[in-house]
Structures are given as structure tokens and as C-alpha cells.
Amino acid sequence: MIVQKYGGTSVGSISRIKAVARRVVRTVEQGNRVVVVVSAMAGETDKLIDLSRQITDMPDEREMDLLLSSGERVSSALTAMAIQSLGYRSMSFTGRQVGIITDSSHTKAMIERVEAERLRRVLREGIIPVVAGFQGISASSDVTTLGRGGSDTTAVAIAVALKADLCEIYTDVDGVYTADPRIVKEARKQERISYDEMLEMASLGAKVLHSRAVEFAKKYDAPIVVRSSFNNKPGTLVTREDREMEKIVVSGVTYDKNQARITIMSVPDRPGIAARLFKAIADANIVVDMIVQNVSTKTKKTDISFTVPIADAKKALNITREVSKELGARGVNMNTNIAKVSIVGVGMRSHFGVASKMFETLAKKGINIMMISTSEIKLSCVIDVKDTEKAVRALHRAFIV
Amino acid sequence: MIVQKYGGTSVGSISRIKAVARRVVRTVEQGNRVVVVVSAMAGETDKLIDLSRQITDMPDEREMDLLLSSGERVSSALTAMAIQSLGYRSMSFTGRQVGIITDSSHTKAMIERVEAERLRRVLREGIIPVVAGFQGISASSDVTTLGRGGSDTTAVAIAVALKADLCEIYTDVDGVYTADPRIVKEARKQERISYDEMLEMASLGAKVLHSRAVEFAKKYDAPIVVRSSFNNKPGTLVTREDREMEKIVVSGVTYDKNQARITIMSVPDRPGIAARLFKAIADANIVVDMIVQNVSTKTKKTDISFTVPIADAKKALNITREVSKELGARGVNMNTNIAKVSIVGVGMRSHFGVASKMFETLAKKGINIMMISTSEIKLSCVIDVKDTEKAVRALHRAFIV
């Protein structure tokens, strides 16, 4: 039993949908039972969002969900037709029809359970189900959507519910690389990667697989393969960590240019200051990534720097300015010309000297480090955006080849 | 309580949707409770049909329904947002959510019942519901669509279920005219018309209101107003017949150029011949409109002529040719250059001489009548298509002004 999820570019045109149908049929002919999950055709969701923006800047989230869920319904019906036209039995299903029960957080609903009876029944009957991804239904019988990467989550949730052997995520890249191949020529596709590494990679900007789907898969130990629907290459297996993986210190180098750094200067260093600032920012639904607080000066003043997504930068800056006045800080500045470069690998846990080697590598290239943040399996440095490519190449050469 | 249904052109763009929202709000401000029913934005359904045709000529009807139902979901969500942005509470609902329960005849489902509890509840809460027209749900929990004119039927069914005072059908014409105003300058909008007259008008080509919706309204005696969403003119009330109406002999002159006449010549005149022919045509899902059989000649041979929609003409011709050989007829011919002109009016029942006056009027203009068919409240003549406009003008002058 295989769950195959096809993203927006994979079903982006009628000829692409026909290619998907052929791949599904080929997988069935190889002796597998297949459940297909599809995203909306590329561009359709943005088109619907644009229509709503022409009406209001603040569309109601419940209405937004009914609006956006229509895109996957179209692609699932068309994909089922394409499979049928190859002589196979197929039926399309909405999120509701395959029992994707969510909470009622419209536009970012969480799956509570999957009532997969109907799906099991049609599979027993030899029918190939095509499920509209990204959507579910709440207790009040309203349509909900699962937010960014929602179709990935649908696929993994169904794979878990059906105890599928594999969940294949088809996209427009061949798999997860050791670095962005557009920047690093020697970058190579990884055969296997752990859930945790994938989570760090996903949140660091390698947009092949959404972190919520990976978290879901990790929780239930459901193996995922990320691969391309445009060729027959094997892809990258995302699976639970094993001994082999630990031998590799760094499995990937990533970067993220969509961050801005905000610094609040010479703020009095007393308890509750950071809490005051970051509560105000969280209340505005802005996610703060890195936070660095300098050691206090003799005058009992400190600088606090943090990074936010560039889309939220202006809003975060205004909030910080207000808080700054209130706290009697010297001022606030923002730098949007930054990038975050990171190295990721489960092997880091048991290897010493990784951090110093990273700093050394950047120093040798004359790259200044503005901020540092670490986790058990990753190391991130904020640098000037103009140094991004140089840094990624140097780190890849130092740690991977 | 008013049910307002807006057709595809009425919600054909964001600015049109905003205009609909303003009209809904105005109706609410006048002290009414309003339920809105919307069609898909003009062109969207055709776009979806075109996508499916690129995959297969014979799309599965269940999949087709899931595909097509998405258009009304988009327009209902957008319309609800537009009403909200005017400061009113509004929610969009799918056919399923307002309990439109249908049989399982996909692409042409019949409404079995309306479970309107949720609709009643939101109305009590002061929310303006916007319902996606054209769709329902079958016993097996699959999405169904109601076929051509389905959103009209949705609106009338909801009006009946809620015991609404009025069902307003908004379209791009001002109402039901005594004749096509593009042909007859003196044509005037009718203030009131009976269900039966509207049924005859609808099936004769005045495409303002679908016949299934009129039948539904007639059955439950639900008054309908047909009016334009592009202006504030009062429209035409479609209601039960009364004394006043009977005084008007002819309430409208209509025409239909989308018919073809097929004649099977010199067929043996014995029982079962007509049955054999028309069963074969019905089996191909072709609807025959008029049938004329000439009196038998001395040789016990007869000619049978009938009309079919021009879209089915070629298929009907092939079937007739096959049957013709089988029956030993002399041959088959087809004429696609025909039109049907009709006069409609409940007053005909109690007035004599209407038929002869119609034939006389056409004769005076030198128009040859090829076929005649009658019902209690209408008279139709098939004529050469080139005479259509002349015939409609002459009949309008003779019977109406």
C-alpha cells in the first residue's frame, strides 16, 4: 500500500495530470494498492486568494476555507477522470468524504483523526481513490483547510490511518540535496535523511516537504519518500534515525534569505524586558526565529537582536519601536540585508569541534558572523546577504565533500 | 423572507459580486430576512467542462459533479465575504450544508428533500446565508449537481422549505417579455405570468428561468419574480393563474431556431412503426419535440416528420436512416433551416379562433407553415428560418399590440 501525493506543479496542466495518471497506473501494475492525494493545480490557489483580496483585505477565515478548498476538488476530479481514461476504476474524494476530521481553526486546522472506512472499502473494491488534499471538515460540518503544506499533511495522515508501507511526496525536485544545487555544483541528492534533519532542513528553507507533515510522520514512524514527478529517479527517503546516519556529521547546508534582523539598543537589563518585547510581537502573530542578547554593559544596559520573516519585518519594527520608547531604550534598528546559513546533521550530537570548524570556515572567507544559534542537530549563523553563496559553497566543501 | 438567486452574469466579476452584496444588504435594510443563492461566475463552469474534455470525451458523471460543484463554492464564498465587508454577518454554505438531499443521478440529480435546520438556525441568529446553487448531496454522501438551470431549482426549493414570501431570480434581462425585444420593438415586459405560461415560454426558448424550477414553484405555489441585477426595475411575477390572466388571450410570442426537422418518407403505415422509430431515438437520449404523421396514401404508405434539438440532429438522422432501411421506407431527409414560432397564453383555453388567426397572420405575410403543434395554452408552427423575425413581428402585432 502506497500513498502518492502530487503537488501543484505535478498537476499543473492537463498533460501533467495525464502523466500523473500514468505513474499511478504503473505503480498499481507493479502490484501495489495506491491512494492518490493531490494539491490544487499550480497557480489556482493564488488566483482564488487574489479574488478574495479584491473584495477585502481581511477575508473571513471560514469563507476563505470554502473558497480555497475548491482548487483541490477540481484537480482530484480531473485526476480520477484521467486514471479512468486509462481503463482503471478510480473515484475522487473530498477531505470530508475520506473522514479528515479537524479542529475548527479555519485556514490552519489541525487533523484530529482520520475516519478511513470509506477509503478502505473502495480500496477493497479495487478502486483507485484520488483524495483532494489540504482540506478537512470540522465538528460543525464546515470545510477547513490545513494551511501551508496541507496536502503533504493529508497524505501522511492517510498513510498513517491506512498503515501504508510508504508515502511518496511528488514534487518538482528530485529529492533533498546536501545543498541548493543552483549554488553548489557538487551538491548531491541524499538517499536517506532522518525526520529531525528533515525538520531542520524544512524550517531552514528547503521547501520540499512541509514540517507539519514531517512531524506527523515522525510521530507515527511513517516513512516518506520525496521525489520528482518529472522523472523516474528514486528520490530521498525520510525515515527514523539509525546508526548509519550518525556517522555523517553534516548532512546538509541550507540558507534562508527571507529574514530581517531587528536590534533594540541600550535597553535597561532587568527581568521581564525580553518577555515584554516578545509577548507584544507574538500577540501580532509574528514568529521570531533567532534571539541574541548581548552581555550587559557596566551601565546595566543591553542590546537585544532577533530575526523575523521579512514579510513581518515592518510590523515587527513598529511594535519594537513602541516597546523601545516604553522601556527607555536608546533606539531600534533593522537590517534586511541578512541571510541565515546553517549546517544540519544528527551526527553533530556526538562530534566535537563542529561549531569552531564552521566559524573558521566562514572566517577564512572573510565572512562576518552577526548572530549564532544552535540546536542539537543544527548550527546557524546570520551573515550579510551578499556572502550567502560564498558561505554555502565553503561550508559544503568543508563538511560534505 | 425573500430568497434571492443571482445567475452567472450577476456574479461574473468581483465588481458584480460587490453590487450583489449591496443589493442584498439593501433588501435586508428594508426589513426583510434574505437567503442568497448564487450560480458559478459566468464562464467558470464552461472552463471546467473544457478541462475535463481535454482528458476524456466521456467523463464519469460522479467525477464531473465534484468538478463542476466547485464553481458555485467559489462564488458563494466570495459573495459572503462581500456582504461581510459591508458590515453585515454572512456565511456561505454548500448544497450539503443546507441539506439539499438529492437522488444519485449524477449531473442531473433531482432534489428529494431540503433539511433546512441549519439555514433556519443561522437566519434566527441574524446571519445572511449565501448558498452555493446547482448542487446537493446523495444518500451515499457524494456531491451531485442538478443539471441545467440547477441554481434556479435550488433557490425555489429553499424558498419552499423556508416558506419564503418570495423567490427573486436575478438575471441579465429585466423580466419576461411579450416577445424578444431585439426582434419586436413594441415588445413589453409582462408584469405577471402564470406558471404554465412560463413553462411554455421556457421550453420554447425564452431562457430566463429553467422549467424545472418553474415546475417546482408551481407544485408548491411559490411565487417567483424574474428581474435584472443590473438595474432596479420591478421584473415579472410568475405566479398561479387567476381570472385577470384569462382575459389576455396571448401573453407572449416566442421562437426557437435550434431545431432540425427530420422526415422519413413513404414508410409502410402499419401499427408499431412510429413506436419502433421513436424508441430508437429515445434510447439515444434525444428528446423529440414535435411529431407529425401525414394521412396515409392509397398505397398504405405515410410520411413521418419530427423535430429534434439541432445538437442531436446528426445522431438522430443516422438512427432514422438505419430504422428507415429496416422498415423499407423510401428515404430520409433533414432540414436544419427551420424555426419554431409559438404563441402562448392561458386565455387561449376559452377563446376560439386563435389558431385560424395565427395561420391567417402568417399566410398574409407569405410565410409557409411546415408543421403545427398545439397544447392547451400554446400554438406552434414550424416555418423557414429566414421568416422567423417577420413571423414573430406579425404575430406580436396581431395578438398583443
Return the pLDDT at A204: 60
Residue A189's pLDDT band (cuts 50, 70, 90): very high
CA-wise closest residue to A55 among B16, B91, B172: B16
Return the pLDDT at A376: 84
Return the pLDDT at B390: 96
ipTM over 0.85: no
Q: Taking 90 as the threshold, does the pLDDT of residue B128 lie above it?
A: yes
Residues of A with Cβ-Cβ distance to B55 under 8 angstroms? 14, 17-18, 78, 81-82, 85
Return the pLDDT at A300: 79
Chain B residues 80-139 with CB within 8 Å of chain A? 80-82, 84-85, 91-92, 94, 97, 118
- Going from N- to C-terminal start, the domains of chain B cover 2-172
Asked if A85 lies within 8 A of B18 by C-beta distance, the reply is no
Return the pLDDT at B219: 94
Question: Rounded mean pLDDT of B223-233?
Answer: 95
Helix, strand, coil percentages, rounded to 5, for chain A: 40, 25, 35
Tens of pLDDT along B326-365? 988 999 999 999 999 999 999 888 887 888 899 999 999 9
Asked if B66 lies within 8 A of A76 by C-beta distance, the reply is yes
User: Among the ranges A131-135, B273-277, B356-360, which has the highest mean pLDDT value?
Assistant: A131-135
Return the pLDDT at B210: 85
Minimum mean pLDDT among A169-178, A368-377, B169-178, B359-368: which range? A368-377
* A-B contacts at Cβ under 8 angstroms: 105
Alpha-carbon distance B226 to B214, whole Å?
A: 11
Return the pLDDT at B274: 82
Return the pLDDT at B348: 87
Alpha helices in A42-116 (DSSP H): 44-55, 61-84
Question: Rounded mean pLDDT of A264-273?
Answer: 84
Question: Rounded mean pLDDT of A139-164?
Answer: 95
Q: Are A383 and A342 in contact (CB under 8 A)?
A: no
Return the pLDDT at A205: 55
Q: Are B251 and B396 in contact (CB under 8 A)?
A: no
Which residues, at least 6 apart from A346, have a Cβ–Cβ distance to it below 8 Å?
A194, A196, A197, A241, A245, A246, A248, A251, A377
CA-wise closest residue to B172 among B7, B19, B15: B7
Return the pLDDT at B392: 96
Chain B residues 39-58 with CB within 8 Å of chain A? 48, 51-52, 54-56
Q: Which one of B63, B77, B85 has the shortest CB-CB distance to A77?
A: B63
Q: What percent of chain B has pLDDT over 90?
A: 75
Question: Rounded mean pLDDT of A325-334?
Answer: 92
Alpha-carbon distance A288 to A278, whole Å?
A: 8
Return the pLDDT at A66: 96
Return the pLDDT at A31: 96
Alpha-carbon distance A395 to B17, whole Å?
A: 54
For residue A20, give how far its alpha carbon lies from the nearest alpha carbon of chain B (Å). Answer: 12
Alpha-carbon distance B250 to B253, whole Å?
A: 8
Asked if B85 lies within 8 A of A141 by C-beta distance, the reply is no
Residue A299's pLDDT band (cuts 50, 70, 90): confident
| CATH architecture designation of domain B2-172 | 3-Layer(aba) Sandwich (3.40)
Q: Are B3 and B35 in contact (CB under 8 A)?
A: yes
Q: Taking 70 as the threshold, does the pLDDT of residue A297 lie above it?
A: no
Alpha-carbon distance B299 to B317, whole Å?
A: 25
Q: Taking 90 as the threshold, does the pLDDT of residue B149 lie above it?
A: no
Computed over every residue of chain B, the mean pLDDT equals 92
Q: Taking 70 as the threshold, does the pLDDT of residue B1 lie above it?
A: yes
Q: Which one of A14, A67, A69 has the shortest CB-CB distance to B54?
A: A14
In a 3-state reduction of DSSP, which class is residue A135? Answer: strand
Tens of pLDDT along B40-84? 999 999 999 999 999 999 999 999 999 999 999 999 999 999 999
Return the pLDDT at B249: 86
